[in-house]
Every structure is written in structure tokens, then in C-alpha cells.
Amino acid sequence: MHLVIIGNGITGITCALAVRRLQPDARITIVSSESAHHYSRTALMYVYMGHLRAQDIKPYGDWFWDENRLSLVHATATALNTAEKRITLDNGTTLTYDQLLLATGSESRLYGWPGQHLAGVQGLYNLPDLEAMTRDTHGISRGVVVGGGLIGVELAEMLHTRGIEPVVLVRDSRYWGTVLPPEEANLVDRQFEENHVPVRYGTEMREILGDAQGRVRAVVTTAGEEIPCQWVGLATGVTPNLTLAKTSTIETDRGILVDEFLKTNVPGVYAAGDCAQHRQPAAGEVPIEQLWYTGRMQGETVAHSICGQPTPYRRGIWFNSAKFFNLEYQTYGQAPAASTEGLSSFYWEHPGGRTALRIYFRSVAPHAVVGFNALGLRLRQAVCENWIRQQAPVGTVVAHLGAANFDPEFFPQHEKAVVADFNRQFPALAVALKQRKGLFSIKN
């Protein structure tokens, strides 16, 4: 079998390694125009900030690919003929395949702003984006970041570490208003304030102005404000990269349409990761998942189907993590930003405004826990997922909260304060602390 994988991100590489394990004699070719090697996309910001070198974000040494008989082709796939199972590359060559995986990832979403193609306007998704940002922000004094999601706060922190003033434009009335409840959003806003990053809430970009050299010189907001700047970072989301798929008979919508086995409508052609759109997502799940860990899971799953072991993709319990300047964030399960019928939530915040915990649970007995938000403290993923899967009552979870704590040694322990506040807010469900950090039971 000759497997060709288009894309060398986490999905494509995970699939390649799994196929090599499952079918040792398979011939595997990985095509990517982005870079000649696989790298950790989530670590791009740390290279810009000087915490890591470019070579530090390569998970595998250059010897790894030959050792595992993985052929790397640094080129762009420009056309796909599924009838002939042939791929045309921009270097003038073609590839034929027996099985094909499209793991083409995402590209930054643009909204047709006047001036969006000026020099110094970009998103941050891939290695070329990092290289452009490094080049175009050298020696500047101010950048404008458009968007209030995870990439937006990353871009702001990146500029801040180089002494460049970031001005952030956020459409919502609070940070990440579609994801975070107001209390959690306020904690993130404090991070902006403490790091002297101005944020314009309820504000969008209307236009980008350029200078005589075709480079950005200012943005104009929907409030009519003109903000002088020398760089604009677009953090308004990403969209599946369908460029190659659209040259073929593969069915697409917002993404490449796949079934539960990550198969497209064309036999022998699969799609996974950011570019894939599930025709029938599971209840409570979205059709397009654009996260590192879901890409890894899909890469592992699709490898089994490619190797003749059809395996349906099952994401399991939702989780995500991020860092807002100095504030760590984790979320598990159902964690809506607004009040939801049938759900209650308990929220605790440390008086210092740097640590918070929210637990979501069913409003009716036995008050099963369905989700968590944690900011400034660390919860064990396996423990939280187990509580959600087993529908543990909220009282049981609060009483044994220490079982989930994996903050570093000597960090403050907040279990007693959390339990006291829970009992104050929900006296009918009052509990006593039974388990503390380190998985040790409290002796009566």
C-alpha cells in the first residue's frame, strides 16, 4: 500500500506513525508546503518570545524520518485527480496513491476588510506566519490585534514581550464572550490590565489604512477611531483549507465532508483534523473540530481505517487548555458561557483575583457534575473526566476536590475555602471536605 498524506501537522504525522505501527510494510509519503519537517504548532509563540529556538519545536530529529521510512516531500499539492489516484505538485512532479489522507488544516479567516492585503497584516497559524510576524514587527512601536479568542491573547502577549504596544479590538462586551462566563472573563481582563494592554470591547475593525509603500499605517474602528500602528494581527478565527479538495470530486461544505470513519465520498480518500467536517456529529459536538488534541485523535483513528480496521471516531469528553499571560485555564465537559436550562453552576474565586473554579451540575437530584472551568489552578484531566462520565453528584466532587488537584508542590491549597463557599451558596447540598491534594484522605 502506498499512503499519501497531504499535510505534516499533528493529524498527518500521527496518522503516519500509527500506519507504520499497524502496517510495517506500507509505503508512506507526506507532502507539505509549509515546512520540510513536522513541528509543534502550539509552540510558535514561544519561539517569537525567545523562550524556545526554532529547532526546539521539532519533536523529532532529522534522522527520524529515514529511520521510520517516512518520505517527506516539501511541495504544494495543486491538483487532485481521484479517478486516476494522482496528485500534481508545484515542483512539476506527480504522485500516485492507493490511499490518501487530506490533513490540510486551516487558514486564517478574512472578512473582506479594505486594506487586509497590505504588508504587515496577517494571522498566526503556521510557520510562514511566524516568520512574517518576526520580520514585520521588528523595530515597530504598536500593533493592533483584531479578535478576542485564544490567538488574540497570544498575539498580544507576543508583542508585549518585545516592548511593542498591543491594542486589542474585541467585538463582544467581554473577553471571549461566547465561551467564558462574565466572572472568568473578568479574570482574563485583569491580566490585560496588569500587563498594560489596552482593550477596546464592543469594537470591530472597519478598515486598514496603508502608507505609500503599501504597508499598514493605521486601522479605523467601527467607533470611528483611527489607531496608528505598523502591524495588524488577525485573530478572527480560521477556516478549513479546501484548496486541494476543490480541485477534485470530493464533497465539501464548510469543510471536507466525512463520515464517522473519516471517509470522504471518494473510496480510498480520507480527511481528518482541522479540514474535516463530520456529516453527523455526535450529540453536543460540533461538525468541525479545530484543536490540537482532536487532530491527534483523528489522526490515530483514521490510521486504523486506512489499514483495514474500520474504527469510528469518538472524541469523548470535551477538554481544552490555554494560558492568558500569567493565568492558566482548563475546561472539561459542558461549560456554557451563559445560563442554560437544566444546569446550575458553583463559582468560587480567590480574593486575589488570580484563581477561580466553576463546577457545572444538573439542577435536579442527584445533581450530576457535567463540566469544569479552572483558572489559576490545575485539575487532573483523568479525575475530572471520570467524575463527568460517572455522573458524580456535585457534593461528592466538592468533598473530594483534592483528588483532582495537581498544582506544584508548595502552591496554596484552596479546597477548604472552596468547600466553605459551596456550603454558603448551596446550603441544602452542604458537604465536608473528605479529600485533599495529593490524593490523601483527611482523617476525622
- Rounded to whole angstroms, the Cα distance separating 146 from 150 reads 12
Which tens digit of pLDDT belongs to each residue from 20-42? 999 999 999 999 998 888 999 99
Sign of the dihedral through C-alpha 348, 350, 353, 356: negative
Per-residue confidence (pLDDT) for residue 352, from 0 to 100:
84
User: Residues in the chain with pLDDT < 50?
Assistant: 439-444
Query: What values do phi and psi take at 10, rounded to 5?
Result: -65, -35
Radius of gyration of the chain (CA): 24
Q: How many CB atoms lie within 10 A of CB 117?
A: 11
What's the angle, vertex CA 34, arms to CA 95 and CA 290, rounded to 5?
A: 100
- Rounded to whole angstroms, the Cα distance separating 92 from 343 reads 58
Query: Which region, left, alpha or beta, applies to residue 237 given φ > 0 means left and ψ of -120 to 50 means alpha?
Result: left
Select from 393, 402, 398, 395 the least CA-distant residue to 429: 395
Per-residue confidence (pLDDT) for residue 443, from 0 to 100:
45
Q: Could you tell me if 24 and 68 are in contact, meaning their C-beta atoms sit under 8 angstroms apart?
A: no
Percent of all residues in the chain with a pLDDT value above 70, rounded to a whole number: 98
Chain length of the chain: 444
- Rounded to whole angstroms, the Cα distance separating 13 from 385 reads 27
Percent of all residues in the chain with a pLDDT value above 90, rounded to a whole number: 91
How far apart, in Å, are the Cα atoms of 170 and each of 146, 175, 177, 180, 382?
A: 7, 7, 9, 14, 34
Per-residue confidence (pLDDT) for residue 394, from 0 to 100:
98
Cell of 433: 471536605
Which tens digit of pLDDT belongs to each residue from 193-245? 999 999 999 999 999 999 999 999 999 999 999 999 999 999 998 999 999 99
CA 103 from centre of chain: 16
Per-residue confidence (pLDDT) for residue 162, from 0 to 100:
96
Select from 269, 262, 274 the least CA-distant residue to 98: 269
